[in-house]
Chains A and B, each alone.
Chain A
Amino acid sequence: MAAPTTDRTESGSPGAQTVSMAKALNAGLRAAMEADGKVIVMGEDVGKLGGVFRITDGLQKDFGEQRVLDTPLAESGIIGTAIGLALRDFRPVCEIQFDGFVFPGFDQIVSQLAKLHYRSQGKLPMRVVVRIPFGGGIGAVEHHSESPESLFAHVAGLKVVSCSNAADAYWMLQQAIASDDPVIFFEPKRRYWEKSELDTSATPQPLHTSRIARPGSTATLAAYGPMVRTALDAAAAAEQDGHDLEVIDLRTLSPLDLAPVFDSVRRTGRLICVSEAPGECSVTAEVTARVQQECFYSLEAPVLRVTGFDTPYPPSKCEEQYLPDLDRVLDAVDRVLAH
């Protein structure tokens, strides 16, 4: 039973439904576990509770306690033992409860998970997925709203992706689990309950590819994870002002798939990169650098970035001002168009 049970859409395809990203992730995990008996889920509260976001809801009931492990409370332990299990050809899918709690496991991720394949010269593939609900906008206390993806993208040996809708959540998670490389899988928690179309009979696009989420011609917005929705909303609002914005969902942060971005910028001449993460030394900084290198003669305006500020994540009453929103994106659109 791979398909989630929810409202059918009217689009006609037999596998098409409208589901929340949370449901799609749950269905993707379930499909991966059914397809491969070596796939196991491990983390804090993922079993009986089904995870604090219910992404693993019902999996322990159906697959048993040896395939869905309520682990002791230690992230280094979760990642480190997942590595050991991967050495015996298990495919662990680790859940980190919130973005800010991955750091006790950072050592194992950077020192072993990222490097064992290289150190063993290919003899020890690290088929481990680390799922991290990330980003803000949910009014949470400290350490529950961070966007640490750039720290992982900076580490050679790790692959880093982020989904932005139900279909990508469903497919990308299964692709990440099937990957022979370790994948850090960032889930935009504030979008967990937003619904979008999922066709489980469709053929998914490859994992490490970006995607044009909305075609346009005036300027390009490049975003990923939670900011794709924001970028699309901004594009819809800009349409009222006669601006036809293209939105690219980066999907894969390491390796980056920038060919569609270069192609887009060559057409529009203008690029704005959007992320919740602070801009300094970030994924958006990398995209910006590469675009100016590849598309220098096509650019009509400097590449702009709309990001979180270079500060710790603030108390949540400030987050509306901290996080990029529709207005800040539109403000950047005005600025690139002023050139």
Chain B
Amino acid sequence: MPSPQHDPPSWTRSSVGSAGAVEAEPTAAQVIAGLRATSEGGDDLVQLLSPEGQRVHHPDFTLDVGAEELKSLYRDMTLVRRVDREANALQRQGQLGIWVPLLGQEAAQIGAGRAMAPQDMAFPSYREHGIAWCRGVDPTELLGIFRGTDHGSWDPRATGLHLYTIVIGNQCLNAAGYAMGQRFEGKVGDSATGEATICFFGDGATSQGDVHESFVWAAVYDAPVVFFCQNNQWAVSEPTERQSRVPLYRRAQGYGFPGIRVDGNDVLATLAVTRWALDECRAGNGPVLIEAYTYRMDAHTTSDDATRYRLAEELEAWKLKDPIERLRVHLVREGVAEQDFFDGVAAESDELAARLRECCEAMPAPGPERIFSQVYAEPSPAVQAQHEELLAYQAGFADAGTPDGER
């Protein structure tokens, strides 16, 4: 590992300002330094596909991928981006209360998601629509969370995808515990059939106590868990330098397990590194931390206005590293795919988007029973009584001829 002196300037001591007001407008030098700081991954970045779409050799990580796999990686990324854009539009049109975009993080998520084996378990935060896709959760199943009809409708056990977790960092301890269970039940030790867990969180989340504690637990119990941090450079308005003085992947060293920084806009590198990490876990050599170095190309959520805190130039610089475009160029350059393949994926995207929209608009509002159902595993007479009270109250309006729900 290179010494700290080799780091880009952003990783040196952050300059928490001198006393007094800061300048509103950054200088040109600050802009350039900022761009460099956020768009360069440093010497340790694992990359297998350059932003120009060329395969790159890496001494430690190789990936044998055939034409079909390359094409299906492209298809997955394109479809989840389309889902993301459609859901964003649905929010704009009032069909969803909020949407949390994954734009720009398709390679990080499809790479990681496709590295998982069916028996593995994933713990997402709230932006992992690409992971959900890879776990076979239909995109329409994500909508309820954002439309306000449920808190996640898929079956976590059946899909190997835990519910989305919004409280930053909570899921990391849950994932560590789940992985401890995999070990306690003897599911670790064989890299073909063993089980592993993968946990997703952001750069901001790395500051939370829960995340640090999960590193400790996973290390102490040799838990088969891959901590997959998508460093998309921003935690709402705060750049990653607000969270750490060292690159995030180096945190792992202090806890006693490997940390790797991968180009999160390179689906091949992400797939290779995550596959390796999960295999390590399956074989009993976990945990592993992966920092996927990527970029949140849209606002934090549809409620956020990113122009208040970051420069348009930064986005322009990252567009040159677009994860989908780079694979597309590779497919064309290597003659792996012809135009009809791309046309086919585009048509499939359109169909998926149309289906998503249709399902969204048709989603029924839940009735009052949703408020009271499943609060406890054992029936609660108190909750039951309140449910009946509400029904009786609402029936009073029905008797008075007021249409239900329009009081």
Which A positions have Cβ atoms within 8 angstroms of B?
Answer: 44-45, 47-50, 52, 60-66, 70-74, 76-77, 100-101, 103-104, 139-144, 280, 309-312, 314-322, 325, 327-328, 331
Q: Which residue of B lies closest to A80 (CB)?
A: B209
Please tell me which one of the listed residues A61, A103, A327 contacts residue B24 in the complex, with CB atoms under 8 A apart. A61
Would you list 12 pairs from A and B whose C-beta atoms are within 8 A, ordered by A residue?
Answer: A49-B308, A61-B22, A64-B19, A66-B16, A73-B238, A73-B243, A144-B166, A310-B386, A314-B371, A315-B148, A315-B151, A331-B396
A103 proximity list for chain B (CB < 8 A): 167
CB <8 Å contact, A142 and B151: yes
Please tell me which one of the listed residues A65, A77, A314 contacts residue B22 in the complex, with CB atoms under 8 A apart. A65
CB <8 Å contact, B209 and A141: no
Chain B 75-119 residues near chain A, CB threshold 8 A: 97-98
A312 proximity list for chain B (CB < 8 A): 375
CB <8 Å contact, A315 and B144: yes
**B223-231, B315-323, B362-370 - the one binding chain A:** B362-370
A140-B167 contact in complex given A66-B17, A104-B208, C-beta closer than 8 Å: no
B370 proximity list for chain A (CB < 8 A): 314-315, 318
Please tell me which one of the listed residues B150, B242, B390 contacts residue A309 in the complex, with CB atoms under 8 A apart. B390
In the complex the two chains form, what is the Cα distance from A49 to B16 in whole Å?
16
CB <8 Å contact, B207 and A72: yes
Please tell me which one of the listed residues B144, B209, B407 contacts residue A104 in the complex, with CB atoms under 8 A apart. B209
Which B positions have Cβ atoms within 8 angstroms of A?
Answer: 16-22, 24, 97-98, 126, 144-151, 166-169, 204-205, 207-210, 235-238, 242-243, 303-304, 308-309, 365-366, 368, 370-372, 375, 382-383, 386, 390, 393-394, 396-397, 405, 407
A64 proximity list for chain B (CB < 8 A): 17, 19-22
CB <8 Å contact, B237 and A49: yes
Q: Which residue of A lies closest to B98 (CB)?
A: A141
CB <8 Å contact, A45 and B366: no
**Most chain B Cβ neighbours within 10 Å, of A101, A143, A309:** A309
B16 proximity list for chain A (CB < 8 A): 65-66
CB <8 Å contact, B149 and A48: no
Please tell me which one of the listed residues B145, B148, B236, B382 contacts residue A45 in the complex, with CB atoms under 8 A apart. B236
**Most chain B Cβ neighbours within 10 Å, of A72, A139, A319:** A72
Minimum CB–CB distance from B397 to chain A (whole Å) comes to 8
Minimum CB–CB distance from B142 to chain A (whole Å) comes to 12
Minimum CB–CB distance from A329 to chain B (whole Å) comes to 12
Q: Is the interface of B mostly helix, strand, loop or mixed?
A: loop
Minimum CB–CB distance from B140 to chain A (whole Å) comes to 16
Given A318-B371, A321-B405: 12 more A-B contacts, CB < 8 Å: A44-B235, A47-B237, A60-B22, A66-B16, A72-B243, A73-B207, A104-B167, A141-B126, A141-B166, A309-B372, A311-B372, A311-B383
CB <8 Å contact, A141 and B393: no
B375 proximity list for chain A (CB < 8 A): 310-312
B207 proximity list for chain A (CB < 8 A): 72-74, 77
A45-B371 contact in complex given A61-B24, A63-B21, A331-B393, C-beta closer than 8 Å: no
Minimum CB–CB distance from A54 to chain B (whole Å) comes to 9
In the complex the two chains form, what is the Cα distance from A47 to B239 in whole Å?
12
B243 proximity list for chain A (CB < 8 A): 72-73
A318-B24 contact in complex given A66-B19, A328-B393, C-beta closer than 8 Å: no
In the complex the two chains form, what is the Cα distance from A161 to B97 in whole Å?
30
A315 proximity list for chain B (CB < 8 A): 144, 148-151, 366, 370
Please tell me which one of the listed residues B126, B235, B371, B372 contacts residue A73 in the complex, with CB atoms under 8 A apart. B235
In the complex the two chains form, what is the Cα distance from A319 to B149 in whole Å?
10
B386 proximity list for chain A (CB < 8 A): 309-311
In the complex the two chains form, what is the Cα distance from A298 to B166 in whole Å?
48
B166 proximity list for chain A (CB < 8 A): 100, 141-144
CB <8 Å contact, A44 and B383: no
Minimum CB–CB distance from B175 to chain A (whole Å) comes to 17
Please tell me which one of the listed residues A49, A73, A140, A143 contacts residue B205 in the complex, with CB atoms under 8 A apart. A73
In the complex the two chains form, what is the Cα distance from A73 to B167 in whole Å?
11
In the complex the two chains form, what is the Cα distance from A133 to B98 in whole Å?
18
In the complex the two chains form, what is the Cα distance from A189 to B90 in whole Å?
25
CB <8 Å contact, A70 and B238: yes
Minimum CB–CB distance from A58 to chain B (whole Å) comes to 10
B204 proximity list for chain A (CB < 8 A): 72-73
Please tell me which one of the listed residues A63, A65, A316 contacts residue B97 in the complex, with CB atoms under 8 A apart. A316
CB <8 Å contact, A310 and B382: yes
Task: List 3 A-B pairs, minimum CB-CB distance, nearest first.
Answer: A316-B148, A49-B237, A72-B207
CB <8 Å contact, B21 and A141: no
Minimum CB–CB distance from B359 to chain A (whole Å) comes to 15
A321 proximity list for chain B (CB < 8 A): 368, 371, 390, 394, 405
CB <8 Å contact, B308 and A50: yes
CB <8 Å contact, A44 and B236: yes
